[in-house]
Amino acid sequence: MSVRHIETGSPFEAQIGYSRAVVADGWVFVAGTTGYDYATMTMPEDITDQCRNALATIGAALKEAGSSLDHVVRVNYIVPNPDAWPDCWPVVSAAFATARPAATMIAANLQNTEMKIEIEVTARLP
């Protein structure tokens, strides 16, 4: 089995010991991704901005893997405050308009209190 690891330069990847994505056997597994702007290492306060940043990071990892958001088949959304989740609906609806993946929203605490959403996806290589 051929396995390729994709890194995005996030300091968390090295500190915690994970890859942003792993490509294996025609699949792309993208780790839970939060809303950091990795260029500035800042986290927006608004959940929708965090959602956009997370999807941009995921999209870049998928592109490097040879896939895209349009090839996502499974997505998990993790939010500490489920009441804020509907604010993200327009963002995720637009991002996954083509793929329309199977999806789950989970309410759980995240690593840092500033984190308002974490998104994990599984995609196919086209």
To the question of pTM greater than 0.85 for the whole model, the response is yes
With 90 as the cut, is the pLDDT of residue 9 above it? no
Q: Which tens digits make up the pLDDT trace of 40-72?
A: 889 999 999 999 999 999 999 999 999 999 999
* Residue whose token pair is 């330069």: 9
Please, is 76 exposed, middle or buried when counting C-beta atoms within 10 Å of its C-beta (0-12, 13-18, 19+)? middle
| Residue among 81, 89, 88, 87 at smallest CA distance from 110 | 81
Can you tell me the mean pLDDT for 67-92? 98
Strand extents, DSSP E, the chain: 3-6, 21-24, 27-33, 72-79, 102-107, 118-124
pLDDT band at 97 (very low <50, low <70, confident <90, very high): very high
